[in-house]
C-alpha cells in the first residue's frame, strides 16, 4: 500500500516535519492524508520569525495573478489541480463540482486582488503637498480558516496584498487549499517570510489570535460570540442568508426553481446559501413545493462530477440524523417522508450523503429561525407586514425577489444585514466593487497623512 500524502507546517518557505501527527479521514472512511500538527512552541517560533523579518512593501499585484494561475493549473508539490480537487471533496464532503468551481473562483479573485482591495477604500485624496496613505495597522494577521468551501482562503491572500504577513491555521478537514495557495504564492515569488501554514487544534488558533496584531476567524455561533467584541479580530460567522417572498410564491414555477438553486447550489455549504424562506402567503404549500424539488437532487459520491449534495462519514451521518430529528421535532417536516431509506443515504462508497431537509414553523420567531447547517437545510416561516424587517436581521444576504423588493432600503439600514439582493438574482451575485461581508481593507488598514514641503520650481 502506498504511503499517505503528507501535509506539514510550512514556515519561512520550508516544510517542517512535525512529530505530532493526525490522520485525515475521507468521508468514505479511508485514510486520506497524514497531517503534521504545529505545537504551541512551533507556532510561536513561526510568529517570531515573521514578526522580525524585514519584508519591505506589499508584493506587486502581478505576483498574485501569477499565483492564481499556478493554483488553478499547475502541479504543485507533486499535486495536480485535479488531485487537489479530489482530496478536498473527499476530506470535506463538499461536492467535487463545487470544489472545481472554487478553484476557478480563486484564480479569478487573485487576478483582481488589487481591484478588490482598492474597492473597499475611499476614493484617494491628494493635493499638492498633502496625501492620505492607507497603511497596515499591524504587521501580523492570524487567520483561522474554514473547511466548508475553499474560496474564503482568498481573504488571507488579500491581506498579503495589503502588506500584512499572515499565519494561517487551516481547517482540520482542509489543509490542502491553504497549502496549495502557499505553494503557488511561493512559486510566483512571494517572500518566504510573509506567510506560515500551521495546522493544529483550537489551542493553536487561540494562541495565534492572542499573539498576532490582528485576527481573522471563520466559525459558527460560538466563534462569533467569543470573538465578536474584539476590535482586533474580524469575525466571519454564520451567513444565515434569507429570502422573503410574496403570497404567490408556491405557484410561481420560476421562483421555486430559483429558490432551490439559492438553497442547494454547491451542496448548500456556503454562507450565502438561503437557509430561511419567509413568505407573506401560505407556508405549507411553499414548503411542500420546495421539498418536492429538492428531493430530486441525486445521491452520488462527492467525487462524482455530477454530485449535488455534501457528504460525511456514515457514523457522523447517523449522529447528525438523530440530532436533526430532535432539533426539528416541534416543526413540520416536509422532506423525510420522501426518502424511504432515510435523510442520510449511502451512495455506494460507504459515505453518508445529506439529503435536503425542509421544515416549516408557525412563527418567524421560532427557535429554528436562524439555524444554518452545512447541507440544504431550510426553514419556511410566515411573514406579516407588521413584522417589518426584524425577522431579516442577522443575515449575510437578504433576497427580495418579488413583491417585497420595496423593503430593500429599510433592510439595508439594519446593522446586522450585510447585503440585499432584489429580483431573480443569485444571492452571491457580485462585482469586485460590491462588498461581500463588510470591508477587509478597512479592518487591516488605517489612514495616515503625509504632508510634504512644496517643491521649489
Domain check: are 183 and 254 in the same one? no
User: Is residue 351 predicted with pLDDT exceeding 80?
Assistant: yes
Domain check: are 216 and 331 in the same one? no
Which pLDDT score, from 0 to 100, does residue 123 have?
A: 82
Based on its alpha-carbon atoms, the radius of gyration of the chain, rounded to whole angstroms, reads: 23
User: Is residue 1 predicted with pLDDT exceeding 50?
Assistant: no
Query: Tens digits of per-residue pLDDT, 104-146?
Result: 999 999 999 999 999 999 887 778 888 888 999 999 999 999 9
Q: Can you give the pTM of this predicted structure?
A: 0.94
Which pLDDT score, from 0 to 100, does residue 111 have?
A: 97
Query: Tens digits of per-residue pLDDT, 160-212?
Result: 999 999 999 999 999 999 999 999 999 999 999 999 999 999 999 999 999 99
Domain check: are 174 and 44 in the same one? yes
> What is the 8-class DSSP label of residue 405?
G
pLDDT band at 96; cut points 50, 70, 90: very high
pLDDT band at 237; cut points 50, 70, 90: confident
Q: Are 328 and 111 in contact (CB under 8 A)?
A: no
Number of domains in the chain: 2
* Mean pLDDT of the region 66-73: 98
Domain check: are 223 and 357 in the same one? no
Domain-ending residue, one of 183, 214, 237 = 237
Domain-ending residue, one of 215, 237, 259 = 237
Q: Report the relative pairing of strands 344-345 and 351-354 from DSSP bridges.
A: antiparallel
Q: What percent of the chain has pLDDT over 70?
A: 99
Q: Copy the grid coordinates of residue 287.
A: 414548503
- The CATH number covering residue 356 comes to 3.40.309.10
Domain check: are 135 and 181 in the same one? yes
Query: Tens digits of per-residue pLDDT, 251-295?
Result: 999 999 999 999 999 999 999 999 999 999 999 999 999 999 999
Domain annotation covers residue 454? no
Residue 278 belongs to domain spanning = 241-422
Domain annotation covers residue 211? yes
Which pLDDT score, from 0 to 100, does residue 232 have?
A: 93
Sheet hosting strand 351-354, strand order edge to edge: 311-313, 351-354, 344-345
Domain check: are 93 and 144 in the same one? yes
Domain check: are 67 and 194 in the same one? yes
Domain annotation covers residue 439? no
Domain-ending residue, one of 204, 237, 270 = 237
> What is the 8-class DSSP label of residue 316?
H
Domain check: are 99 and 85 in the same one? yes
| Separation of alpha carbons 252 and 398, rounded Å | 19
Sheet hosting strand 445-451, strand order edge to edge: 126-127, 130-136, 445-451
Domain annotation covers residue 457? no
* Mean pLDDT of the region 222-229: 84
User: Is residue 454 predicted with pLDDT exceeding 80?
Assistant: no
pLDDT band at 456; cut points 50, 70, 90: low
From its phi and psi, is residue 373 left (phi > 0), alpha (psi between -120 and 50) or beta? beta
Query: Tens digits of per-residue pLDDT, 314-335?
Result: 999 999 999 999 999 999 999 9
User: Is residue 447 predicted with pLDDT exceeding 70?
Assistant: yes
Domain annotation covers residue 216? yes
Helices 61-73 and 176-188 cross at an angle (nearest 10°) of 130
| Separation of alpha carbons 138 and 146, rounded Å | 23
Which pLDDT score, from 0 to 100, does residue 457 have?
A: 55
Query: Tens digits of per-residue pLDDT, 356-414?
Result: 999 999 999 999 999 999 999 999 999 999 999 999 999 999 999 999 999 999 999 99
Domain annotation covers residue 433? no
- The CATH number covering residue 77 comes to 3.40.605.10
Domain annotation covers residue 97? yes
Domain check: are 285 and 379 in the same one? yes
Q: Copy the grid coordinates of residue 238.
A: 454564520
| Helix or strand run (H / E) with residue 319 | helix 314-327
Query: Tens digits of per-residue pLDDT, 163-176?
Result: 999 999 999 999 99
Q: Is 198 helix (H, G, I), strand (E, B) or coil?
A: coil
Domain check: are 292 and 266 in the same one? yes
* Residue that is written with C-alpha cell 494562541 in the block: 207
Domain check: are 37 and 145 in the same one? yes
Domain check: are 294 and 146 in the same one? no
Domain annotation covers residue 448? no
296-301 long-range contacts, Cβ below 8 Å, gap at least 24?
297/264, 297/355, 297/356, 297/376, 299/345, 299/347, 299/353, 299/355, 300/347, 300/353, 301/28, 301/347, 301/348, 301/349, 301/351, 301/353
Amino acid at each position: 500500500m502506498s504511503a499517505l500524502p503528507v501535509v506539514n507546517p510550512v514556515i519561512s518557505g520550508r516544510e517542517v516535519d512535525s512529530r505530532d501527527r493526525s490522520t485525515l479521514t475521507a468521508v468514505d472512511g479511508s485514510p486520506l492524508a497524514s497531517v503534521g500538527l504545529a505545537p504551541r512552541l512551533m507556532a510561536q517560533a513561526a510568529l517570531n520569525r515573521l514578526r522580525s523579518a524585514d519584508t519591505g512593501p506589499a508584493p506587486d499585484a502581478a505576483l498574485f495573478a501569477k499565483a492564481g494561475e499556478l493554483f488553478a493549473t499547475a502541479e504543485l508539490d507533486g499535486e495536480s489541480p485535479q488531485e487537489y480537487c479530489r482530496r478536498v471533496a473527499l476530506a470535506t464532503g463538499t461536492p467535487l463540482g463545487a470544489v472545481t468551481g472554487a478553484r476557478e473562483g480563486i484564480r479569478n479573485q487573485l487576478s483582481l486582488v488589487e481591484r478588490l482591495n482598492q474597492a473597499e477604500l475611499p476614493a484617494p485624496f491628494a493635493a499638492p503637498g498633502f496625501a492620505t496613505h492607507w497603511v497596515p495597522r499591524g504587521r501580523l494577521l492570524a487567520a483561522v480558516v474554514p473547511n466548508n468551501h475553499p474560496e474564503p482562503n482568498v481573504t488571507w491572500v488579500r491581506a498579503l496584498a495589503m502588506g500584512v504577513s499572515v499565519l494561517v491555521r487551516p481547517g482540520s478537514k482542509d489543509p490542502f487549499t491553504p497549502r496549495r495557495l502557499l505553494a503557488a504564492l511561493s512559486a510566483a515569488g512571494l517572500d518566504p517570510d510573509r506567510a506560515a501554514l500551521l495546522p493544529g487544534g483550537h489551542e493553536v488558533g487561540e494562541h495565534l489570535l492572542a499573539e498576532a496584531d490582528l485576527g481573522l476567524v471563520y466559525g459558527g455561533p460560538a466563534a462569533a460570540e467569543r470573538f465578536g467584541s474584539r476590535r482586533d479580530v474580524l469575525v466571519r460567522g454564520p451567513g444565515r442568508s434569507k429570502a422573503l417572498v410574496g403570497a404567490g410564491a408556491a405557484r410561481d414555477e420560476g421562483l421555486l426553481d430559483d429558490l432551490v438553486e439559492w438553497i442547494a447550489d454547491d451542496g448548500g455549504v456556503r454562507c450565502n446559501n438561503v437557509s430561511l424562506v419567509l413568505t407573506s402567503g401560505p407556508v405549507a404549500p411553499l414548503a411542500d413545493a420546495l421539498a418536492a424539488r429538492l428531493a430530486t437532487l441525486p445521491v452520488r459520491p462527492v467525487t462524482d462530477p455530477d454530485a449535488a449534495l455534501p457528504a460525511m462519514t456514515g457514523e457522523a451521518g447517523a449522529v447528525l440524523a438523530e440530532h436533526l430529528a430532535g432539533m426539528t421535532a416541534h416543526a413540520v417536516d416536509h422532506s423525510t417522508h420522501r426518502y424511504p431509506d432515510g435523510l442520510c443515504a449511502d451512495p455506494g462508497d460507504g459515505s453518508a450523503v445529506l439529503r435536503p431537509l425542509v421544515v416549516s414553523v408557525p412563527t418567524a420567531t421560532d427557535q429554528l429561525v436562524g439555524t444554518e447547517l452545512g447541507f440544504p437545510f431550510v426553514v419556511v416561516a410566515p411573514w406579516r407586514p407588521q413584522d417589518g424587517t426584524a425577522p431579516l436581521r442577522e443575515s449575510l444576504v437578504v433576497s427580495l425577489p418579488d413583491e417585497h423588493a420595496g423593503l430593500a432600503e429599510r433592510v439595508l439600514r439594519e446593522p446586522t444585514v450585510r447585503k440585499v439582493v432584489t429580483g431573480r438574482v443569485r444571492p452571491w451575485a457580485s462585482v469586485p466593487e460590491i462588498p461581500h461581508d463588510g470591508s477587509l481593507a478597512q479592518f487591516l488598514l488605517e489612514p495616515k497623512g503625509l504632508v510634504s514641503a512644496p517643491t521649489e520650481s
